[in-house]
Chains A and B, each alone.
Chain A
Amino acid sequence: MLFKQTLSFSLAVAFLGLSFTAQAKAPVENAQQKGLRIAKEGDAKDIGFGDTTANMIMTLKNRAGKTSRRVISIKTLEGKGDGDKSLSLFNQPADVKGTAMLTFSHGLKPDDQWLYLPALKRVKRINSRNKSGPFMGSEFAFEDLGSQEVEKYKYNYLREEACGQGWKCHVIERTPAYKYSGYSKQISWIDTKEYRPVKVMYYDRKNALLKTLNATGFKQYLGKYWRPSMMSMVNHQTGKSTTLQWSNYKFKSGLSARDFNKNALAR
C-alpha cells in the first residue's frame, strides 16, 4: 500500500463523455453524489495505464532544517477487477538497501503486504493495523501512500474555486471508510479540467488540521496520464516536512503479474 497510493493519488482524471452523461442525468444531484461522481471520474481517467515504473526521492526535514533522504524505486501494475499491485525497492538509507515491499491493494478489504528483508533473505507477510503510522519516519503515513481506491472514502462536494496556475478545482471533503485511519476527514482539491489532485488537507482524529499535501510539476504521459513530479507534505503540528521527488516515469513497459510474485521481491 505504500507507494502505489502516491501513484494513484496522481491519477485522478475523468472521462469527459462520462461526466457529461452524469451531469445531464442528475439535475438534483446532492453534495454526496456529486463528490462520489467526481472521485469516480477521476479514477476512470487513469484506466488503462497498464503498468508504471518510477523513482522516488523522499526528503525528510525536521524543524531545525536538518534533512535525510530515502531513495525508492516503485513498480505498479494496474488491477483488473481488483486494486493495483505494487513493488517498492529501497536503495537508501544504506542499511535498508535491498529491502522490498509488495502490496496488493483492495478496496475496503485490508491490503495484502509482504516485506523482504535482504539480510535474512526472508519474505514476511505483515499486517496493516497501524495505517496511521509514519512511513520510515516521514510525514507520510502508510495510508497516505496506499492506493487511493474510490471505495476507501465517503465524499461530500464542497465548492469549486480557483487553485493556482489559472486552474479551477473541485473541493471535496472525504471521510475514510476503512478501519483504523488516523484522520477524521480530508479536504482535497482536484482540478476541473484534467482531474489532477493538487492539494489535500488532513485533519486528525480530534478534527484539528494536521498536514497539508501539495502536488506540483504535473506532466502528461502517453498523452493521457498525469503524474506530479513533486509532492510536499507539511505537518502543521510539528513543523516537520517531507517531499517526494518523482523521476523516470515509464508506462506500459510490459510488466506482468509474475513481476509481482513473492519470489520477485528477492530480485
Chain B
Amino acid sequence: MSANPDLEILIFDSNAYTRSLLLENLACLTDCSLYAHESSHAWDDTGEKLKTAILVLNHHVNDAPPFEFLQLFKRTSPNSYVVVISSPGAPHKAFAVLQREHACIDEIFDKPIDLERFSFALSERVIAIRKQQELNHQHLNLLRFLPTGALRRIFAQPTPGSAELFEMTVMFTDIRDSTQLIVKESARSYFAKLNEILASQAQLIRQYDGMVVKTTGDGLLAVFEGAARCHLALKCALAIQQSSEAQSMPVGVGISDGLVLTGILGTSEHVHFDVIGAHVHLAARLCGKAGQGQILATHDVVSKARFEFSSRPLHEVVTVRGFDAPVVCLHIQS
C-alpha cells in the first residue's frame, strides 16, 4: 500500500503534559504527520479542510466543551475520523449526545485509557483509512471507463445482454488518410500521435457533455444526451475539426440522431458498454462519406439543433439499411 503523507493526526489537548504523552505514544503511527494544538482556536480550517485527518481531542473537565468546533471540523472535513477522550459520567454523556445528534464524533474513549491500546486502535484506524482511500482511488479510475449521465444507471446491474432505449445523437470521427501516415512514420510514433489526437477529441466531447463509447481504430464513437444534444454534438464536431486542422491530422465526422439501444455486451468475466441501432449505422456511413475536414449530419440533427449552423445539402442520396426512404444529409460548415 502506498504511503499517503497527507494523512494527519491532529491532537487537541489543553494540558501540556498529557499533550506530550499523546504525541509521544502516537509517534509510532507510520506515514502520518502529527500536529498538537493547545486549543481548538489554534486550528486553521482554511489550510487543513481538504485533507483527511484523525482528530484526537483529549477533553479535560475544566475545559469548555468544544462542541461547535467539533461540528465545524466534521463539516469542513467529513472524511476525517474524530476521536474524543473524555471522563466517564457527565462529560461522556454530553459528548455522547453530540455524537448521537450531530454525528460529528466517531468514537469516544473513556478515561483512564491504556495508551498502548489507544495507539493500537488508532493504527488500525489509519490502516482502514488508507484502504478506503485506495478503494476510492480505484473507484474514481473505474468511473472513467463508465458512461455518464442517465446511461450510468445501466451499470447499477451490469448484466451482459441488458439494454435500454435512449434518444441520442450519435457521432463518429475518423482520421482521413491514416494509411499514408502509418507508412510515413514508424508504427510506435503513429500510435503515440493517434493517442494524442483521440485524447484531445475525447476531451472536447466531454467539454460538450458527450460521452465516448469507444475508440474505433482511427476514430471515436460518441453519444450525446438531453434536449440540447444535437446542438452540442454539432458544436463539438466543429471544435474537433478546428483542433484537427491545427494538428494537421484531418478527420471526417458523421452525425445522426434518434433512438439508440444502449447496453452491456460480454460475458460474466468481461463486459463492455456499446450502442447499436440504425442511427449508429447511419452516423458511421456519414462519417465514411465525409472527406477531409468535413462534417456530415442528417437534416434532422440540424433542425433539432434549433440554432443556425451554416450548411449546404449533400447532393448524393444516402440510403441506409433500416431506413425506408433516402436520408437527407447536410454538410456542416464552420
Q: Please say whether chains A and B are actual partners in one complex.
A: no
Interface positions of A (Cβ within 8 A of B): none
Interface positions of B (Cβ within 8 A of A): none
